[in-house]
Each structure stands twice: as structure tokens, then as C-alpha cells.
């Protein structure tokens, strides 16, 4: 299997890359820090990856996306799976206090991510199909006070991923939208974990099974699917009083 990952040097991207390396996959690693990429590539080869190509790509600099996808896919010969785990999180308080931070979060989590997905779709379509797996969030499933802005970016992303899943079905492209709950990664460091917080390795197992099966939407840890189904049914009067 040939897998291209943007975000493989940390967090969920690293956990997924290590799982694929253990399968003997050939990997193309996209990222902006050359030293991080080099260390990650060496680690993945040691874990069993048949190849670990390093490609410079910065999601915030959208002009780097298309060249990086072409470089990575050419190096692998064919891409079976393209994964995007990169994104930005900030608290509602921080975002309200900084319009610049709000603009950056929306630009990265939505505009740049969609730019990446649009380019990835064409890479997969040219070769006759494949899987595009993108990380959204449970924060986009229901409006909630603590994640108004971050959740809005993920709600829009989830809508987009569902739509292109319908559009690209006939082109042989499967779109997998991952909706993680709280997972212990660098992104959530310093935050108080809620019940059912996930471990990156366990979450990676759930995600890879979803990729293998072509599951359109996957909650990870899985219990978040049930939790969000309940939260989406709560009346607005309750949500106005709720603190979560």
C-alpha cells in the first residue's frame, strides 16, 4: 500500500503513519519542518515502512500544496490513500480576543484544507481512484458555547467532505471523514480531558479500519458517535444553559 500523509510528524498523523509502517507500506510524508520529516522518516523505516519519502509542504502556504502532492504521488508511483490530519485548535476565549487568530484558524482549517482536498481529488481521479481521509471533529456536529468558532470551521469541513464523497463516488474515490473526540495529542496538551478521552494508537486503529472499509464517517473513539447522537437531540433551551 502507498500512503501520502500531511501531518505525519506528530499527533494522530504520526500514529497513523506508524501503523502503516508496521504494515510495510510505502509512505510520502508532507510537512513544513525538514528536520521533523527526516526524524519521522527514519523512525518509520525502522518500524517497517518500505519507503518514507519526505516532501516540503506548508498548509498555511497554499501554493505549496499542489507541487507537494504531485511530488509525493510521483515518488510513490501510485497513491492508495491520502490522509490530512493537520489543523489548528484554539479556545473560544483566545479566538474572541484575537481576530487575527480567528482568521488564521478559519483559513487553515477550512480554506487551506479544502484547497488540499481539491488537489488531492484530482491526483486520485487521474490514477483511477483511491481514498481521501480527512480529520474533522465532533465539535462540528452541534453548536456549543465553548467551540463556536472552531466548531464552525469543522462543521463546514464535514459538510464539504460529505458533498465530495457523493460527487466522487463514480470516479472511484472514497472519502473518509474522521470525527475525533478528545484525543491525547500535542494539540490537546494542557486541556482538561473529558470522559472517554482517546489514545492516539487506539484511535489510529479505528481510523485505519474505516479507511480499509471506505466508511464515509467515523467517530473515534467510537463512543463519541453515541455521545454526539445524544447531544444533537438535546433541546436548545438545555444547550443555552449547558457549559460543554
pLDDT band at 47 (very low <50, low <70, confident <90, very high): very high
Residue partners of 206: CB distance under 8 A and separation at least 6? 218, 220, 221, 222
pLDDT band at 244 (very low <50, low <70, confident <90, very high): confident
The arithmetic mean of pLDDT across residues 27-53, rounded, is: 97
pLDDT band at 181 (very low <50, low <70, confident <90, very high): confident
The arithmetic mean of pLDDT across residues 58-70, rounded, is: 96
Q: Which three cell numbers stand for residue 228?
A: 454526539
User: Is the separation of the CB atoms in 43 and 166 below 8 Å?
Assistant: no
For residue 188, pLDDT over 90 is answered with: no
- Looking at residue 243, its pLDDT comes to 85
User: How high is the mean pLDDT of the chain?
Assistant: 93
What ranges do the domains of the chain cover? 2-241
CA–CA dist 67, 43 (Å, integer)? 25
- Looking at residue 199, its pLDDT comes to 79
Residue partners of 236: CB distance under 8 A and separation at least 6? none
The fourth-level CATH superfamily of domain 2-241 is NAD(P)-binding Rossmann-like Domain (3.40.50.720)
pLDDT digits over 74-94, tens only?
999 999 999 999 999 999 999
More confident residue, 200 or 233: 233
pLDDT band at 185 (very low <50, low <70, confident <90, very high): low
- Looking at residue 221, its pLDDT comes to 87
- Looking at residue 241, its pLDDT comes to 93
The arithmetic mean of pLDDT across residues 159-163, rounded, is: 98
For residue 196, pLDDT over 80 is answered with: no
For residue 105, pLDDT over 70 is answered with: yes
For residue 189, pLDDT over 90 is answered with: no
Amino acid at each position: 500500500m502507498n500512503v501520502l500523509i500531511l501531518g505525519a510528524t506528530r499527533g494522530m498523523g504520526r500514529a497513523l503513519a506508524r501503523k502503516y509502517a508496521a504494515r510495510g507500506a510505502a509512505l510520502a510524508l508532507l510537512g513544513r519542518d525538514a528536520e521533523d520529516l527526516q526524524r519521522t522518516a527514519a523512525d518509520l523505516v525502522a518500524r517497517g515502512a518500505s519507503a518514507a519519502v519526505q516532501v516540503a509542504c506548508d498548509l498555511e502556504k497554499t501554493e505549496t500544496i499542489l507541487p507537494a502532492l504531485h511530488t509525493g504521488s510521483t515518488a510513490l508511483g501510485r497513491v492508495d490513500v491520502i490522509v490530512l490530519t493537520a489543523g489548528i485548535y484554539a479556545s473560544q476565549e483566545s479566538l474572541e480576543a484575537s481576530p487575527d487568530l480567528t482568521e488564521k484558524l478559519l483559513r487553515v482549517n477550512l480554506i487551506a484544507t479544502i484547497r488540499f482536498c481539491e488537489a488531492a481529488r484530482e491526483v486520485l481521479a487521474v490514477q483511477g481512484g483511491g481514498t481521501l481521509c480527512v480529520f474533522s471533529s465532533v465539535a462540528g456536529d452541534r453548536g456549543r458555547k465553548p467551540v463556536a468558532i472552531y466548531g464552525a470551521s469543522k462543521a463546514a469541513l464535514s459538510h464539504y467532505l460529505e458533498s465530495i464523497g457523493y460527487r466522487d463516488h463514480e470516479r472511484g474515490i472514497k472519502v473518509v471523514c474522521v470525527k475525533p473526540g478528545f484525543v491525547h495529542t500535542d494539540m490537546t496538551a494542557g486541556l482538561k480531558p473529558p470522559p472517554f478521552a482517546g489514545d492516539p494508537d487506539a484511535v489510529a486503529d479505528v481510523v485505519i479500519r474505516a479507511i480499509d472499509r471506505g466508511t464515509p464517517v467515523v467517530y473515534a473513539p467510537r463512543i463519541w458517535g453515541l455521545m454526539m447522537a445524544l447531544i444533537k437531540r438535546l433541546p436548545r433551551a438545555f444547550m443555552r444553559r449547558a457549559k460543554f
